[in-house]
Structure 1
Amino acid sequence: MSHHDPDREAQVPEELAGERFDRALARMFPEYSRSRLKQLIERGEVLLDGGQCRPREAVVAGQTVSLSAEPTPQPSRVTAQALPLNVRHADEELIIIDKPPGLVVHPGAGNPDGTLENALLHHFPELSAVPRHGLIHRLDKDTSGLLVIARSNRAHVVLTEAMQAREISREYLAVVVGSMPAGGTVRASIARHPVDRKRMAVRDGGREAVTHYRVAERFAHHSLLRVKLETGRTHQIRVHMAHIRHPIIGDPVYGRRLAIPRGATEALAEALRGFRRQALHATALSLHHPVTGERISVQADPPEDMQALLDVLRQDTEARGS
C-alpha cells in the first residue's frame, strides 16, 4: 500500500505537452512555490501517472499529476498596514508602484513591519492569496522607483518567468562619482562577499551579471547615468559601478569616503554631505501584460532629494563655466 494520498490531482493540459516535468508542475500548481515543488519532487511526493518522474523529463498531455502535500504555507504573519502607496498602474492582473526611498520591500529581521508588503496587503487584500504576496522582484530599501506586483496566481507565474527570461525591461537613473566620457557595459559575476555576508562583491564563479549604462548628463566631477539591467542580481548596479571606480553618490556600503571636489560651490558641498542614500532610482519599467500581451510602459521621475542633488550639480557645473 502506498502512503501517497493525494491532496491535489490534475491532468497535464494540452498546452504543456512536451514541457519539462518541473516546469509543467509550476504552471499547473502556481499556489506552490518553485522551491517547494523541487523539494516535493526530491522527496517523491509528486507522482506522474502513479510513478516517480525526474524533473527534466517531458510530460505528455492527459497524464495525471498528483501531489501529496499542502501548498506553500503563506507567512501570514505579514499584517496589512495603512501606509501610503503611489500606484502608477493597476488592473486585475498586476500593479505597478513607485516606491519612495527608505521603504523596505519585505518584512525581515530589524523590519518586522512598516514595509511595502504590509502596505500592499492593506490596499490590495486579495494579494494574501498570491504566492509571496505578488512580489516578483525587489528594490533595496534606499533605492526608489518602479516595482511590478502580480495580482493573481496566473500573473505571478507568467511575470516570474518573464523576469527570469529578461523580458521585463527596467531602466534606472544613477548619479555616480566621476565625469564619465561615455557609456559602456559591465560584465562581472557577482557573489556574496567572502567575509562580510551583508555585502555582494565581484567574484569569479559568482552569478553572471550584466549592466549597460550610458551618460545622460555630465557634470564637473560627477555623471548622471541611465542604466539598463540585463540580469537582476542583488545590489548589481551598486556593485558594478563601484567595480569600475564610479561608485554611486551616497552609497553607504559600496561608495567611497565622501570627497568634496576642489572648487565646488558651497551648495554642492552641502548637498553631497547631506545625501545619505545611494542616488539610484528605477525610472522606467516596460513589460507585456501577462494576459492580454499588450505592452505596458511606466516612467517615474526621481524623488525630490535626487532632483535637488541634480539641480545643485547643474548649478556647480555652470558656475565653473564648463
Structure 2
Amino acid sequence: MTSENRITGQYTVPPELSDKRLDQAAADLMPEHSRSRLQSWIKSGALTVNGQTRKPRDKVMMGDSLALDAEPEVQVTWEAEPISLDVVYEDEHLLVINKPAGLVVHPAAGHADGTLVNALLNYAPEVENLPRAGIVHRLDKDTSGIMVVARSLIAHTSLVGQLQTRTMGREYEAVVVGALTGGATVDAPIGRHPQDRKRMAVVSGGKPAVTHYRLLERFSAHTLVRCKLESGRTHQIRVHMAHVRHPLVGDPVYGGRLRLPKGTTEELREVLAAFTRQALHARQLTLEHPETGNIMSWEVPLPDDLAHLIDALRKHARELEDRDF
C-alpha cells in the first residue's frame, strides 16, 4: 500500500457514492487531492477501478475497488515564506501545529501567498513532494487550533486512512448562541447551499455528516460546547449548529445578525460586537503514529480573543445571578 516514493491507496465505493461519476466519487474518497489531479490520474491509468482503466465520467457502483498508484508531483507554483509557526510537535513524519485565526491553510483564489502552505514550504521544504504540501485536513481561515501535517508519504497515506476510517480524533470548542440544557448529536447531510454556492447547508442530497456536542459551561444566553466530529465536511460544525438554531457566536456566514441577551451590559455588548470571527477552536487531536503505531494526543489552549469572550460571558452571567438575589 505504501511506498517511499509513490502515492498509493485502496478505496471501496460506499453506498452513498454508488452511480456517481468516477471523478466525483474519487474526489469524495480522496479530498486531500485536487479534482484536476484525480482526473489526470484517471486518464493516465494511475487510478483504476477493479483493476481496469476508466474515464472520469464513467459511473462507479457500490463495492467497486479504486486503486491509486501514482508518482508524486512537485508543486512549483507555491513559494516558501518565512511565516512564524507555533509548532506543538514534530518528527520526521509529522508536524503538529497550533494555527492562529486569520491564517489561510491552502493557497487559493485571492490567497496566493501568506498561507500555511507557504509557511510549511519554508519550515519543512520536503513537503513540496507531497500532495497539497502534506495538508490532509484543514481548518477554516478564522478557526484557530490544532492540526497535523504529513512530512512523508508514509505519514500522508496513514493520516488519510485514519481520516477515512474515522480513527483520528478531533475535538473542538465553540461558543454558541442560546443557553443549552445538554448535549446531543446532529446527524444531517451537508452539501452546497442550493442558492448560494459559497455556503454549505444541510441538504437532502448532501454527504453524510455527524457532529456530537456536549455542554461545557452555560452562560445567561450562550453556551460553551465541546464538539466531536465523525466526518469532516466543509464548515461542518458551523452548519450543524446553525441548523439546530444555535449558531456560533461571531460567525459571519451562518450566524445571522448580532443577538444581544436580555440585560446585556455595555461591556458585553462591545465584546460581542468586536468578535467578528466564528467562535471555534480545534482543541484536541488524537491519532496513531504512522511509523510506531503509538496513539498520540495533543491539546492546545484557547486563543486570547476566545478566552476573553468567554470571560466576558461568564462575568455577565455572574452579574445577572447577583442581581436576582
Same structural fold, with TM-score higher than 0.5 when normalized by the shorter chain: yes
* Residue number in structure 2 paired with 1:80: 80
Counterpart of 1:99 in structure 2 is 99
- Output the amino acid matched with 2:162: A
Equivalent positions of 1:141-152 (< 5 A) are 141-152=141-152
Confirm or deny: 8 A CA contact 2:251 2:276 kept in the other structure: yes
C-alpha separation between the residues in 2 aligned to 1:44 and 1:125? 28
Paired position in structure 2 for 1:108: 108
TM value normalised by structure 1: 0.82
- CA-CA distance at 1:71 after TM superposition: 3.5
Q: Which segment is superposed worse, 253-262 or 208-217?
A: 253-262
Alignment of 1:172-191 (within 5 A): 172-191=172-191
Residue 321 of structure 2 corresponds to which residue in structure 1?
Answer: 321
Q: Which residue pairs with 1:4 in the alignment?
A: none
Q: Paired residue for 1:297? A: 297
- Distance in 2 separating the partners of 1:21 and 1:268: 51
Give the aligned partner of residue 223 of structure 1: 223
**Displacement, 1:43?**
3.6
Q: What is the alpha-carbon distance in structure 2 between the residues aligned to residue 34 and residue 209 of structure 1?
A: 21
> CA 1:85/1:47 → structure 2, altered by over 3 Å: closer, same or farther?
closer
Kindly state the Cα deviation for residue 267 of structure 1 after the two structures are TM-superposed. 1.4
- 1:203 maps to a residue whose letter is V
What CA distance in whole angstroms lies between the structure 2 residues aligned with 1:298 and 1:118? 24
Cα distance between partner residues in 1 of 2:280 and 2:226: 10
User: Residue 270 of structure 1 aligns with which residue?
Assistant: 270
Gaps of 5+ in 2: 4-8, 14-25, 27-31, 55-59
SS in 2 for 1:272: helix
Provide Cα deviations, 1:284-308, integer angstroms capped at 9, x if missing partner. Answer: 0000101101111000111100000
One-letter amino acid matched to 1:269: R
State the partner residue of 1:310: 310
Q: 2:133 corresponds to which residue?
A: 133
**How high is the sequence identity, in percent, across the aligned residues?**
50
Alignment length, in residue pairs? 288
Report the counterpart of residue 234 of structure 2 in structure 1: 234
Show structure 1 runs of 5+ residues with no match. Answer: 1-9, 11-15, 27-31, 60-64
* Aligned partner letter, 2:207: R
Structure 1 contact 36–72 (Cα < 8 Å) conserved: no
Distance 1:44 1:75 in 2: 19
Note the C-alpha offset of 1:73: 3.7
Alpha-carbon shift at residue 40 of structure 1 (Å)? 6.2
Instruction: Say if 1:319 and 1:163 are closer, same or farther in 2 by CA, change over 3 A.
Output: same
Q: 1:185 to 1:277 in 2, by over 3 A?
A: same
Number of the residue aligned with 2:282: 282
For 1:86 and 1:269, locate their aligned partners in 2 and report how far apart those are by CA, in whole Å: 32
Structure 2 contact 45–53 (Cα < 8 Å) conserved: no
Query: Per-residue deviation at 1:112?
Result: 1.0
**Corresponding residue for 1:164?**
164
Deviations 1:93-133 (A, max 9, x none): 11110000000000111111000110011111111112211
CA distance in 1, matches of 2:36, 2:118: 24
SS in 2 for 1:261: coil
Look up the SS of the partner of 1:126 in the other structure.
Answer: helix
Contact 1:46 1:52 in 2 (8 A): no
Residue type matched to 1:45 in 2? G
d(CA) in 1 for partners of 2:46 and 2:211? 39
**Cα contact 2:251–2:278 (8 A) shared by 1:** yes
Query: 1:211–1:156: structure 2 CA closer, same or farther, 3 Å change rule?
Result: same
Is residue 256 of structure 2 the alignment partner of residue 251 of structure 1?
A: no
| CA 1:42–1:113: 2 relative to 1, 3 Å | closer
Larger radius of gyration: 1
User: Secondary structure at 1:321's aligned position in 2?
Assistant: helix
Matched residue SS, 1:92: coil
Q: Is this contact kept in 1: 2:72–2:129, CA < 8 A? A: no
Deviation at 1:154, TM superposition (A): 1.1
Amino acid at match of 1:302: L
Change (3 A) 1:296 1:20: closer
Corresponding residue SS for 1:234: coil
Q: What residue is the counterpart of 1:6 in the other structure?
A: none
CA distance in 2, matches of 1:20, 1:235: 24
Question: Contact between 1:44 and 1:52, CA under 8 Å: does it hold in 2?
Answer: no
Letter in 2 for 1:195: Q
SS in 2 for 1:320: helix
TM-score (norm 2): 0.81
